[in-house]
């Protein structure tokens, strides 16, 4: 074999080795690139934050909205100057005097659904649809030795025809800011509940505001608690000492 032919074969072999090395490198880079996650493109602008009210799957979602038959138990100041719940547009303002020149109970009632009767020491709003349902608002005497708790124990005795009364302690009247000792019971399928609030902070140690409701079904309860939700105590004496 001539020297020239040997040189040609060596050059060809060297080129084949080079091409093989290049091919292997390219194949390695391609395989590595397919197994990596593309990098995030970073721009000069700050990333936009999601709106605060955007619901995510990590946000807790309540499937148990407020139950009108389960009064709020959180402590609420009942001296606020307005209702905690916006009254319905069809409701009219009612005011029940608690202490002359000092305070009144304010609430809102749709008078197309209720009729008001004067009880002498209070008012009764009777539901005009079928069944027995209504709201009684009155002032009652509190014996100085017994206080509100003693009064609450037997307060519903006549309403329940002597049936058992459950005293659950201080509760809010519906969603309103007013709190009172809550008692409840049933009589013949009809629920009776009452809230008793002392008026001692208005210098009436021997009197209490009492709100009594009665209803037979959830529809009546919903309508009645719509009224209770709007209750608040309006202070009439706004003068201050210099």
CA 109/CA 123 separation, integer angstroms: 13
Residue 62 has pLDDT above 60, yes or no: no
Report the helix count and the strand count for the chain, using DSSP H and E.
3, 10
Encode 10-30: b = buried (16+ Cβ within 10 Å), e = exposed: eeeeeeeeeeeeeeeeeeeee
Q: Which pLDDT band, with edges at 50, 70 and 90, does 172 fall under?
A: very high
Higher model confidence: residue 145 or residue 63? 145
Question: What residue spans define the domains of the chain?
Answer: 1-34, 92-235
- Under the banding of pLDDT at 50, 70 and 90, the label for residue 11 is confident
Q: What is the DSSP string of 35-52?
A: TSPPPPPP-SSPPPPPPT
* Mean pLDDT in residue range 84-99: 92
- Distance set, CA 125 to CA 36, 109, 112, 223 (Å): 74, 9, 11, 12
Q: Which two tokens stand for residue 181?
A: 């000792």
> What per-residue confidence (pLDDT) applies to 79?
52
Q: Model confidence over 68-88: pLDDT tens digits?
A: 344 433 444 555 567 888 898
Query: Homologous superfamily of 92-235 in CATH?
Result: Mog1/PsbP, alpha/beta/alpha sandwich (3.40.1000.10)
Q: pLDDT per residue over 111-150, tens digit each?
A: 999 999 999 889 999 999 989 999 999 999 998 788 898 9
- Note whether 173 and 180 are within 8 A (CB): yes
**DSSP state at residue 156:** T
Q: What is the pLDDT of residues 31-58, one digit of tens each?
A: 665 554 444 444 444 445 544 443 333 3
């Amino acid at each position: 074999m001539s020297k020239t032919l040997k040189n040609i074969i060596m050059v060809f072999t060297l080129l084949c080795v080079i091409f093989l090395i290049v091919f292997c490198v390219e194949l390695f880079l391609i395989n590595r690139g397919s197994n990596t996650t593309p990098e995030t493109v970073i721009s000069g602008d700050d990333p936009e934050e999601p709106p605060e009210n955007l619901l995510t799957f990590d946000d807790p979602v309540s499937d148990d909205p407020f139950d009108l038959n389960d009064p709020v138990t959180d402590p609420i100041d009942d001296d606020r100057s307005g209702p905690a719940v916006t009254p319905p547009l069809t409701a009219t303002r009612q005011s029940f005097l608690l202490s002359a020149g000092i305070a009144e109970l304010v609430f809102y009632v749709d008078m197309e659904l209720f009729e008001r009767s004067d009880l002498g020491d209070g008012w009764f709003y009777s539901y005009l649809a079928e069944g027995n349902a209504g709201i009684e608002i009155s002032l009652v005497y509190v014996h100085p030795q017994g206080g509100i708790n003693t009064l609450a124990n037997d307060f519903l005795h006549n309403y329940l025809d002597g049936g058992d009364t459950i005293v659950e302690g201080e509760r809010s009247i519906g969603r309103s800011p007013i709190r009172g000792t809550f008692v409840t019971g049933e009589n013949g399928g009809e629920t009776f509940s009452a809230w008793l609030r002392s008026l001692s902070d208005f210098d009436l140690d021997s009197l209490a505001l009492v709100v009594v409701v009665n209803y037979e079904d959830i529809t009546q309860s919903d309508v009645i608690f719509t009224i209770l939700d709007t209750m608040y105590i309006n202070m009439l004496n706004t003068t201050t000492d210099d």
